[in-house]
Amino acid sequence: MAKSELNILILAAGQGTRMRSRLPKVLHPLAGRPMLQHVIETARELRPHGLGVIYGHGGEQVPQQIGDESIEWILQAEQLGTGHAVMQALPQVADEQIVLVLYGDVPLLEADTLAMLVEHADQALCLLTVHLPDPTGYGRIVRDEHGRVTAIVEHKDATDEQRRITEVNTGILAVNGGRLKKWLGRLDNNNAQGEYYLTDIIAMAVADGVPIEVSHPAEVSEVLGVNSRQQLAALEREYQLRQATRLMSEGVSLADPARLDIRGRLHCGQDVALDINLVVEGEVSLADNVTVGPNCVLKDCTLEDGVQVLPMSVIEGAHIGAGSRIGPFARIRPGTELAGQTHIGNFVELKNSQVGEGSKINHLSYVGDTIIGKQSNIGAGVITCNYDGANKHRTEIGDNAFVGSDVQLVAPVKVGDGATIGAGTTLTSDAPENALTLSRTKQKTVTGWKRPTKQGRGTRDE
């Protein structure tokens, strides 16, 4: 690793016409967060002394959306080329620093590749290049008869012979700050695009006798840029496949590595098994032996040992205790805490509620703003009426309670330990412990009752 301070500049001012979008290109999400955010996170892994983003197209939206005060936000009001973009940042660059240039629309670069690139940047101008079967559009790496790099020629400026070169410039480079300033001061825009090309500094370095060091990324996908929605979708799949590969190598079973989407961070214990079409958002932790069925969404939640999530369930902002079983078709909303061995069944919605050890809510219920003790059973169709149209109220249910089917609990209301609530009850005041409480109109039978019959034809026009 080079000894000098590192100053990383991320170029993110370009327009991205081919995205056909109002959103600036670098804010388009990859795995749920802006492309630029990925580049910033990778840059941070190198612990740079300075981190600057050159923005322009889309204006203040870019710094506002990223919302990171520790970054130097440098406006490039007019996009006159990559060299011009870097020039905007020069006041923030010290002569003895190493400047590493990254692109905000190249989101899959790995920190290891960059660490390798900057290694010799004290003495040399360091370039990251790749060989592409179809190099169209890229700047070409021109070498002399000894294989030494002499220049980069942009596709539009290249001769037919140069266009046959398959080694291309990724745009990522690292160089000493003082030299960069000197060379950029000599840049002009006499070229096919009338732009100030950062790539023109390569020939200047060669003329000054500064060595050019070339390195390559481990995977070509690391340096692929996004210019269209098709390319963004392709990089999304590539990113997701990398996540899947990492998880499997850490001991997670995936039914299909191509059908997993992690738009946040997933931490897994041992022998976790994930069925198809899981979407992960935010921070999700799955302890040992957790299984997740097909078509589930997990967001900002922690699932303890051996939790089983059955198909089509959505869990957000919740903590699920060990050995619990959720779903199929369950929805667990923020603020929910389930103790161990709970059962939450189909078409049950839980919100901001605590459920004690071993309690069960198995069918068709809404439970909100509620605390339930241990070993209680909440029957089918139970609803907590937590909202009076203006305010939310709490429901409290003790241990070993039995709430019969189709009960409405009109909050605020309490159900004591061991209480039984008869089916169909509308509970409007507290139910004492160890007793049966029910509200029900007395059942009656009318004998000799005749059902109405359909009136005969011809009595009215049909």
Interface with ligand UD1 (CB under 6 A), residue from 6, 8, 9, 12: 12
Question: Measured between alpha carbons, how far is 177 from 89 in angstroms, rounded to an integer?
Answer: 11
Stretch that binds ligand UD1, among 79-87, 250-258, 295-303, 306-314 (CB under 6 A): 79-87
- Could you say which of Ca ion, ligand UD1, none residue 360 binds, taking C-beta under 5 to 8 angstroms by partner kind? none
Encoding tokens for residue 455? 């009136």
Of residues 207-246, which lie at the interface with ligand UD1 (CB under 6 A)? 225
Of residues 119-148, which lie at the interface with ligand UD1 (CB under 6 A)? 138-139
Q: Of 227 and 354, which CB lies nearer to ligand UD1 in the complex structure? A: 227
180 binds ligand UD1 (CB under 6 A): no
183 binds ligand UD1 (CB under 6 A): no
Interface with ligand UD1 (CB under 6 A), residue from 9, 85, 309, 332: 85
Cα–Cα nearest to 367, from 354, 405, 327, 424: 354
197 binds ligand UD1 (CB under 6 A): yes
The size of the interface with ligand UD1 (CB under 6 A), counted in residues, is: 27
Encoding tokens for residue 34? 């802006």
Encoding tokens for residue 112? 């290891």
- Give φ, ψ of 114 to 5 degrees: -70, -40
The catalytic residue among 120, 155, 319, 363 is: 363
- Could you say which of Ca ion, ligand UD1, none residue 154 binds, taking C-beta under 5 to 8 angstroms by partner kind? ligand UD1
Cα 16 from chain centroid (whole Å): 22
Q: Which stretches of 189-232 are assigned E, i.e. beta strand?
A: 212-215
Stretch that binds ligand UD1, among 7-15, 159-167, 432-440, 444-452 (CB under 6 A): 7-15
Token pair 């009595």 is found at 459
Cα–Cα distance list, 381 to 1, 314, 425 (Å):
64, 19, 11
CB of 349 to Ca ion, least distance (A): 47
Q: Of 87 and 310, which CB lies nearer to ligand UD1 in the complex structure? A: 87
CB of 249 to Ca ion, least distance (A): 32
Helix axes 177-184, 82-89, angle to 10 degrees: 130
105 binds ligand UD1 (CB under 6 A): yes
What one-character-per-residue DSSP string does 47-99 give? --SEEEEEEBTBTTHHHHHH--TTSEEEE-SS---HHHHHHHHGGG--TTSEE
Give the 3-state secondary structure of residue 451. Answer: coil
Q: Of 169 and 336, which CB lies nearer to Ca ion in the complex structure? A: 169
Question: Is 38 assigned a catalytic role?
Answer: no
413 binds ligand UD1 (CB under 6 A): no
CB of 68 to Ca ion, least distance (A): 24
- Could you say which of Ca ion, ligand UD1, none residue 13 binds, taking C-beta under 5 to 8 angstroms by partner kind? ligand UD1
Cα 364 from chain centroid (whole Å): 31
Beta-carbon neighbour count of residue 74 at 10 Å? 22
168 binds ligand UD1 (CB under 6 A): yes
Question: Measured between alpha carbons, how far is 393 from 233 in angstroms, rounded to an integer?
Answer: 45
198 binds ligand UD1 (CB under 6 A): yes
364 binds ligand UD1 (CB under 6 A): no
Reduced DSSP (H G I as helix, E B as strand, rest coil) percent helix, strand, coil of the chain, to 5: 20, 35, 45
Of residues 217-256, which lie at the interface with Ca ion (CB under 5 A)? 225
Q: What's the sign of the alpha-carbon dihedral 400, 401, 406, 408?
A: negative
Cα–Cα nearest to 409, from 457, 361, 455: 361
Token pair 């032996």 is found at 289
- Could you say which of ligand UD1, Ca ion, none residue 366 binds, taking C-beta under 5 to 8 angstroms by partner kind? none
Residue 374 amino acid letter: K
Cis, peptide link before residue 412, omega less than 30° from 0: yes
Q: Of 204 and 255, which CB lies nearer to ligand UD1 in the complex structure? A: 204
CB of 245 to Ca ion, least distance (A): 27
Name the site residues for Ca ion (rule: CB under 5 A): 225
Residues classed as catalytic? 363
Name the site residues for ligand UD1 (rule: CB under 6 A): 11-14, 54, 76, 79-82, 84-85, 103-105, 138-139, 152, 154, 168-171, 197-199, 225
